[in-house]
Amino acid sequence: MRVFSVFNYTLLLFVALLCLFPLWHILAVSFSSSSAAAAGLVTFWPVQFTTKSYEFILAKPEFLRSMAVTLQRLVIGSVINMLLTIIIAYPLSKESKDLKFRTVYAWFFIFTILFGGGLIPAYMTIKYVGLLNSIWALVLPSAVPVFNIILLLNFFRGLPKELEESAFMDGAGYWTVLWRIYVPISLPAMATVGLFTMVGHWNAWFDGLIYMSTPDQYPLASYLQTIIKGIDLTKMTGQDALTMAEVSDRTAKAAQIFVGTLPILLVYPFLQRFFVQGIVLGSVKE
């Protein structure tokens, strides 16, 4: 038995290191010189340590603007997503006898997962309702995350029905039951859904490219996608030229990836204790 446990721990440690190695390698590349990265000399540790890649990225005013857009999107989008997810998941968690056509409503949302309108109709819709070049173009199209709704409604269905029945006997209504009972005792599921929501908004980049006309309105992920490809050599200052002599496409992209990943890495440890519990409890119904 002890040998089996040692083998399991060793195997899990090995798998964990395999998962961490790509991120660690990217971090090492981002702190290495362009020549060392181009020559493939970087593995676990930076070669010819330098912070020029981060200086090049963080010195740009466009970076700060894109960070502000992303933070605005993160706050507004997360609030809207969580609010709609909760008020949709709660009624759908009821039995058909409590909510007529409950199955029809559920399949209405599931249909949107199986079939989409396409990129061009989505763009034309955003254009004709006047949302182009606004923060709402980044928030409203994904305001109803169906996967999160399914996860949360399954969690709600697993809660004891006696809680709701006793609240009704005391004169509470559905809104009171939802916000005073269901939401407070559903922190694991809420943390899981909230993490999915934040990661989705933070990493989204394609909608920024198609719904925003100028790079000044790009969220961070969209800006980081174009920062290297968008360099105009004719407008570079002498300092930019000196920086680019020490920064390659590979090192700059590595720095971009790490900068874009770091906030989520900082948030995840605080939600980790809820994450697995929320996934497990929300995935099955007893």
**CATH class of the region 61-226:** mainly alpha
pTM reported for the whole predicted model: 0.77
- pLDDT for residue 190: 87
DSSP 186: G
Per-domain residue ranges of the chain: 2-38, 61-226
3-state helix, strand, coil in the chain (%, to 5): 75, 0, 25
DSSP 181: I
Q: What is the DSSP string of 100-165?
A: TTHHHHHHHHHHHHH----HHHHHHHHHHTT-TTSTHHHHGGGSS-HHHHHHHHHHHHTS-HHHHH
Q: What is the DSSP string of 50-89?
A: --HHHHHHHT-HHHHHHHHHHHHHHHHHHHHHHHHHHHHH
Which position has the token pair 């697995």? 276
Q: List the chain residues with pLDDT less than 50.
A: 231-236, 282-286
Q: How far is CA 267 from CA 21, 202, 277, in A?
A: 20, 12, 17
- pLDDT for residue 52: 81
- pLDDT for residue 241: 53
Q: What is the distance between the alpha carbons of residues 188 and 154, in angstroms, rounded to a whole number?
A: 13
- pLDDT for residue 79: 95
